[in-house]
Amino acid sequence: MFIQRGALTVDIQPLECAHTRGLRKRNEYCGVAGFSASSDVSRFLYFSLRALQHRGQESAGIATHSNGRISVYKGMGLVHEIFTSSILDNLQSNVGIGHVRYSTTGSSKAENAQPIHIYTLEHEIAVAHNGEIVNVSSLKKFLGDMGSAFVTQSDSEVIARLLAYEITKHGIIHGLQNMVLKLRGSFSLAILIDDRVFAVRDPLGIRPLALGRIANGYGVASESVAFHSLGGEFMRDVEPGEIVEITKDGFITHHVFKKKHRAHCMFEYVYFARADSILDGRLVYDVRREIGRILAREHPAKADFVVPVPDSGRAHALGYAEESGIPYAEGLMKNRYVERTFIMPSQESRVMEINLKLSPVESVVKDKRIVLVDDSIVRGNTMRKIVKMLKDAGAREVHVRIGSPPIIAPCYLGIDMKTRDQFIAAGRSIEEIRKIIGADSLGYVSIDGLVKAIGLPREDICLGCLTGRYPVAIPGEKIRFQSDLEDFE
């Protein structure tokens, strides 16, 4: 970890074409925050990042502006491991942004922590980015032809340098607008330009971004829970395509780019967001509970208890139990000091951690028929291990129910699900998957059921990993409907 005052700080990762199968993504799930207040915001940033820790457990960083300069501090680990009181004292300011990131294979390095930090002749810029840009190669060539020199090969640096180029030519507001027009993919951004804080959300609204009020000021964060943790108030979502300036007195919307349809990520509702977050008008907990109810209707089972995989399947399982009338029970206990296995950097570490993470409650599962409910199955290794764990503890039957449809296609827009051959559901029937995980029966919620539970129009939800049809043009892949190619209004 390191601190820099007025020095170049950038995100370093190998450049990859977003459509290249078999390679890692660059900026998968992360969390961003930014605040402007009449008092110090360094503690607001610290506690908001802790509230967003579920979105990234590898690294964290904070950038603030004071005495005419931007200061950046970032490092590897959890937020509370990186930032001490003395470090936060050195970052005191009325404006700042922050970032948390989760690890990916081959990129667990301090250099990959954000915010990134660059200069123009007239401005300092710090950028915190959640999402993934699919036209990185063409943007990098364009910027290179215009004279930009790249220190790294990451799409986050491309965003920052594109912004710097546009600001130099057109000024801050028009520069931000031109940046949005040129970027393709998913991006929720917290940006610090000198002492001004901006929030930008991609025109499809793929990644969440929320605005709220705090003591003596206002802010932006990836999820509404960040404001609750500060004793603040969630006010509204950043609109898809909206550019918002955040000041100590409120919000200034500088522009909103509108598309005919949106593409809110279904995986935010199913898995990644915290259950108490509000995403685009929907409480995530309510969505997951409704998924469970629909799942019970679509895939009933004769059983003694409904058992969630904690914590990811808890709300789904509660809904299943309510709809089915089967008693809900905590048949698995979670060690809360172990990382989320989905976002761990290697399959070996994921499997090794499962025994540390979960243990069965034998008095609940022994000689019982169990409905085991979880939010999703990606690779299948974790579920196979959990089913075996329950049967080893004496469960007579284990009926697995999953709160998302089968994942069959890669995500190019921000989730580390990289190759088709990794997905247990790709090219396999439900019966084949059931045998692999060792369950007595297996049922996934349908796509129609998922859409109904989310409560948004189907055409406004990104279902790319379920259907293989994407909301943005990706070489070699199908676009979900041609109207996604229309110009901005």
β-pairing, 397-402 vs 196-201, is unpaired
Distance CA 13, CA 427 (A): 32
For 146-160, 274-288, 336-350, which range has the lowest pLDDT when averaged over its residues? 336-350
Structure confidence at residue 339 as a pLDDT band (50, 70, 90):
low
Mean pLDDT of 388-415: 95
Residue 67 predicted with pLDDT over 90: yes
**What are 333's strand-pairing partners?**
359
CB 124 within 8 A of CB 117: yes
Q: What is the arithmetic mean of pLDDT over 136-157? A: 84
**Three-state DSSP class for 220?**
strand
Least confident of 244-248, 313-317, 344-348: 344-348
- Stronger pLDDT, 464 or 1, i.e. the higher one: 464
Per-residue model confidence (pLDDT) at position 350: 53
Contact 425, 432 (CB under 8 A): no
Percent with pLDDT over 70 in the chain: 87
User: Averaged over 472-483, what is the pLDDT?
Assistant: 78
Q: How confident is the model at residue 107 (pLDDT cuts 50, 70, 90)?
A: low
Structure confidence at residue 154 (pLDDT): 73
**86/15: higher pLDDT:** 86
Inter-residue contact 25 to 132 (CB < 8 Å): yes
Give me the mean pLDDT over the 316-334 stretch. Answer: 97
Q: Is pLDDT of 462 > 80?
A: yes
pLDDT surpassing 80 at residue 204: yes
- Which of residues 347 and 106 earns the better pLDDT score? 347
Pair type for strands 233-237 and 242-247: unpaired
For the chain, the average pLDDT equals 88
d(CA 137, CA 361): 51
pLDDT the model gives residue 98: 98
Residue 297 reports pLDDT greater than 80: yes
Domains present along the chain, CATH in parentheses: 2-258 (3.60.20.10), 284-461 (3.40.50.2020)
Tokens of 12: 């370093």
Q: What is the pLDDT of residues 220-268, one digit of tens each?
A: 999 999 999 999 999 999 999 999 999 999 999 999 999 999 999 999 9
Q: Which residue has the higher pLDDT, 409 or 2?
A: 409
pLDDT over 50 (residue 345): no
d(CA 249, CA 268): 30
pLDDT of residue 175: 97
The Cα 95–Cα 196 span in angstroms is 7
pLDDT (average), residues 309-318: 95
Distance, in Å, from the CA atom of 396 to the CA atom of 371, rounded to the nearest integer, reads 11
Per-residue pLDDT for 458 more than 70?
yes
Phi (first) and psi of residue 339, to 5 degrees: -65, 160
408's torsion region: left (phi>0), alpha (psi -120 to 50) or beta?
Answer: alpha
Using 50, 70 and 90 to split pLDDT, how confident is the model at 343?
A: very low
Reply yes or no on whether the pLDDT at 26 is more than 90. Answer: no
Q: What is the mean pLDDT of residues 309-324?
A: 96
Question: Residue 106 half-sphere exposure, CB side, CA atoms within 13 Å?
Answer: 10
Percent of the chain topping pLDDT 90:
76
pLDDT above 50 for 295 = yes
Alpha helices in 22-78 (DSSP H): 42-51
Q: Does residue 315 register a pLDDT over 60?
A: yes
The average pLDDT across 450-469 equals 96
Strand partners, 133: 185
CB 163 within 8 A of CB 176: yes
Please give the Cα distance from 348 to 350 (Å, whole number): 5
Point out the catalytic residue in the list 30, 411, 462, 465: 30
Q: pLDDT grade, residue 457 (50/70/90)?
A: very high
User: Does the pLDDT at position 93 exceed 50?
Assistant: yes
Q: Does residue 17 have an active-site annotation?
A: no
- The pTM of the full predicted model, rounded to 2 decimals, is 0.87
* Alpha carbon 280 to its chain's center: 14
Smallest Cα–Cα separation from 42: which of 81, 5, 90?
90
For the residues of 377-405, what is the DSSP string, one character each?
A: -SSSHHHHHHHHHHHHTT-SEEEEEESSP
What was the pLDDT predicted at 338? Answer: 61
Question: What pLDDT is stored for residue 108 in this prediction?
Answer: 60
Cis peptide before 115 (omega within 30 of 0): yes
The reported pLDDT for the residue numbered 18 is: 32
